[in-house]
Amino acid sequence: MADSNQEPDPFTNDTMSDFANGSSPDSPFPSSAATSNPSENNTDLDPSDDLHTNGSAITPNGIARSISPGVDAALEPYDHPGSDHVIQLSSIEHCMPRSYIRICFAYRVPTPEVLPEAVEKLNHFVRKVVDAKPYLSGYVVAVDNPGNRVGAVEIRFSDTDFLEYPNVSMRQFTREEFPYTYDEICERGLPPSVIKPELVSALGESADEHRAPVFRVQANVVEGGLIVSVYLHHCISDGTGFGLLASGSVLNDDFTFDRHLDTRGHDVPSLSMRLDAFATRKSIVRRELSYPFANQITNRQLKYKTAQAVPTEHELLKPRGRGCVFAFPSTKLDDLKQALEAHADGAFMTRHDALLALIWHGMTKARIPSVPGVTTSKLLIPVDIRKKLKKPLSESYFGAAVDFASVQMHLCHLADSSAPCMTETALAVRKAVNGVDEPYIRQAIALATYPNPRIDVRDLQASNMDRTNGADMYITSWMKLNVYESTFEMDLGRPDWVRKPWSKDPGSCIILPYDDRKDYLEAVIQLVEADMARLLEDPDFMGYVTRWIE
């Protein structure tokens, strides 16, 4: 949840927005009015109102002008109709969770005098990213007329949103809020429990269903360091896309918008028209993940939520959880892979497959006493599908392009951590990942494409597992994300640590990004308290771990 008691910025934040984190207060209008396209009839607004739905003022002659004189000056050479630009999301994106991809980057600040310039450079980088991908300035909003599409959303951004995108939020911790120096948290490996979302987060973990910012950044100042938290809405991108953003690759890819276009003396369309053309193209590009096969054969047993007005009391109750980061030395992972390959009869597996098998066995063994009567566990593995289609997507495709592999095994098998059993598991994982091909993917797309008022495809992955009363779980991997190279052009060097903010989400695991300066790979594992206690006492699992932190 978002922190409603967050203190004002202690720094003078020269933001163009009057509201914290660039978000607006609750609108006096219904959500449909606040996000509707002004080109459509809007009976919720009085014709005498001077406020346009994108935050611009309407002059008596009907021409929209921004409330901010700075925006009007920037748009002076252009026609500024004031309408929202709309990007229609793909069917796959409608299957994503309504939440944020949240990653924190920790940087050492050598002297206090360096900090203001570093923050200025961070703001410059963020502004360049928004200039390259204008819809990052906008909001994921509910579709005005969704028809039978439950929970349908789209991206909307206005010229004002684009030009007035807020500066990075700043927060300097007191010793009471954050009783550690940067050296102390580095020595401890940046435990996730010290980067609580209510402290470091630009936004809450869950996104508002009706109007949620696409992208926000917050800079958190600690004694001797800077923790940069970046939030990206999961409906518009995925882990791979996050990596493209954090690395700066989005500044020069196949879809970069050139705000400061060199006209070479020629006429160009207005800025608003160019933004609209950009939004239209992004909608068209997303259609690659929006159509099912005409001769679709359904052999994938997909589950989905049944639409209901509000969650039941049972769904709102969540058990207390713990999240720990485990370090697996590269040498031990190599030994594990070799031990499993000895029983694989030449079948191919990766070190990553072996690690997933180890984690699935360890977590399941720890959970068995908590799930009496349960006989199987299902593992879901998010898979990047950019190269899984016959007509591959561009490597720089920035939208959400992920489906999940699924494999199920009996608990009695997963309770056995012997090499033969884990070999069988690793090979089953490899087979499931390889099975995510275009016919498999198009079945999920078909479910989301054909509207049905009873079918809710939001967070389709979560609908296909039972982590509360069962032994199902997911493991997602950020291992290949090149985010340890992310400097945000602050001239502070590479981050010392990359972490997900503190979260209690039992039955999940994230393989953290690989840092080539370290001789181990990390994973954050989240379990209910009793299960985590058992995992920490499991010699078969902990034998591959050199350090764990909480």
Quick: pLDDT tens for 79-137: 444 579 999 999 999 999 999 999 999 999 999 999 999 999 999 999 999 999 999 99
Residue 200 has pLDDT above 50, yes or no: yes
Give the pLDDT of residue 319.
66
Between CA 423 and CA 430, with CA 426 as vertex, the angle to 5 degrees is 135
Tokens representing residue 250 in the block: 């989005």
**Domain of 417, in residue numbers:** 321-549
Give the pLDDT of residue 302.
85
357 in Cβ contact with 333 (< 8 Å): no
Mean pLDDT is highest, among 120-129, 196-205, 440-449, for 120-129
Give the pLDDT of residue 308.
57
Nearest partner of 67 among 127, 17, 123, judged by Cα: 17
Tokens representing residue 422 in the block: 């884990």
Give the pLDDT of residue 123.
98
In a domain, 209, yes or no: no
CATH number at residue 388: 3.30.559.10
15 in Cβ contact with 167 (< 8 Å): yes
Residue 3 has pLDDT above 50, yes or no: no
Q: Residue range 366-385: average pLDDT?
A: 96
In a domain, 492, yes or no: yes
Distance in angstroms (rounded) separating the CA atoms of residues 483 and 493 = 12
Distance in angstroms (rounded) separating the CA atoms of residues 340 and 388 = 27
* Residue 45: burial class (beta carbons within 10 Å; 0-12, 13-18, 19+): middle
For the chain, report the end-to-end CA distance as a whole number of angstroms: 21
Q: Residue range 375-383: average pLDDT?
A: 96
415 in Cβ contact with 364 (< 8 Å): yes
- How do residues 156-191 score in pLDDT, each as one tens digit? 999 999 999 999 999 999 888 899 999 999 999 999
Which of the four pLDDT bands, split at 50, 70 and 90, describes residue 65? very low
Position 189, amino acid? G
- How do residues 317-368 score in pLDDT, each as one tens digit? 566 789 999 999 999 999 999 999 999 999 999 999 999 999 999 999 999 9
Give the pLDDT of residue 451.
75
Which of the four pLDDT bands, split at 50, 70 and 90, describes residue 78? very low
For 13-20, the CB contacts below 8 A with 24+ separation are 13/167, 13/168, 13/169, 13/170, 14/167, 15/166, 15/167, 15/169, 16/68, 16/70, 16/163, 16/164, 16/165, 16/166, 16/167, 17/164, 17/166, 20/169
- How do residues 480-495 score in pLDDT, each as one tens digit? 999 999 999 999 999 9
Q: Any residues with CB less than 8 A from the CB of 422 and at least 6 apart, and which?
A: 340, 354, 357, 358, 361
Tokens representing residue 451 in the block: 């509207």
Q: Any residues with CB less than 8 A from the CB of 386 and at least 6 apart, and which?
A: 240, 392, 393, 394, 395, 397, 401
Distance in angstroms (rounded) separating the CA atoms of residues 527 and 487 = 32
Bridge partners (DSSP) listed for residue 528: 321
Residue 410 has pLDDT above 90, yes or no: yes
Laid out side by side, the sheet with 376-384 consists of 402-410, 376-384, 473-477, 508-511, 520-528, 321-329, 547-549
Q: Please report the DSSP string for 228-270 in residue order.
A: EEEEEETTT--HHHHHHHHHTGGGGSTT---TT---TT-----
Distance in angstroms (rounded) separating the CA atoms of residues 127 and 130 = 5
In a domain, 345, yes or no: yes
Q: Please report the DSSP string for 142-178 in residue order.
A: E-SS-TT-TT-EEEEE-HHHHHTPPPPEEEE--TTT-
In a domain, 174, yes or no: no
Bridge partners (DSSP) listed for residue 154: 88, 141
Of 48-57, 265-274, 439-448, give the lowest mean pLDDT range: 48-57
Tokens representing residue 104 in the block: 């924190």
- How do residues 290-304 score in pLDDT, each as one tens digit? 999 998 888 888 888
For the chain, the domain total comes to 1
Structural Rg of the chain based on CA atoms: 24
Give the pLDDT of residue 349.
97
Whole-prediction pTM: 0.83
Which of the four pLDDT bands, split at 50, 70 and 90, describes residue 461? confident
CA torsion through residues 250, 256, 260, 261, sign: positive
In a domain, 540, yes or no: yes
- How do residues 16-57 score in pLDDT, each as one tens digit? 333 233 333 333 333 333 333 333 333 333 333 333 333 333
Which of the four pLDDT bands, split at 50, 70 and 90, describes residue 505? confident
In a domain, 385, yes or no: yes
Mean pLDDT of the chain: 84
Residue 316 has pLDDT above 80, yes or no: no
How many residues would you count in the chain? 550
